[in-house]
Copies of this chain bind each other. A is one copy, B any other.
Amino acid sequence: MNCCEKQEYTIDNEQLARFAKAMGHPSRIAILSFLANLDSCYFGDIHNELPIAKATVSQHLKELKDAGLITGTIEAPKVKYCIHRENWAKAQAYFNTFFASLKEKDLCCE
């Protein structure tokens, strides 16, 4: 399904808000961009990309993982983070459906 096909999604407002909240911080957007562009997927490289302490990076990664947008696996002694593709697609569809729901004709405003 590409982004122009009709979507049957019934948006779960709670879920959409959870995705949005996870994306609501510049560092986390940067992390997601980094992973989406496949520059690397190891903690160390993510950390190097950001001007914040590793404890903080770890915390942001945890939040993204809790929101379901990424996965984390141990590849000793490193930790590999990846975009959670299934949920990524779900988030994409949710946002897309949400924004597309805006009606053209506006009887109230304007």
Contacts and interface: CB of A to CB of B under 8 A. Distances in A.
Given A3-B4, A96-B3, A82 B108 contact: yes
Contacts of A28: 17
A20 interface: yes
Taking residues whose C-beta sits less than 8 angstroms from the other chain, chain A's interface range is 35 or more
A30 to B, nearest CB: 6
Interface string A1-34: 0111000000101101110111111101110110
Interface of A: 2-4, 11, 13-14, 16-18, 20-26, 28-30, 32-33, 36-38, 40-41, 80, 82-83, 85, 88, 91-92, 95-96, 98-103, 105-110
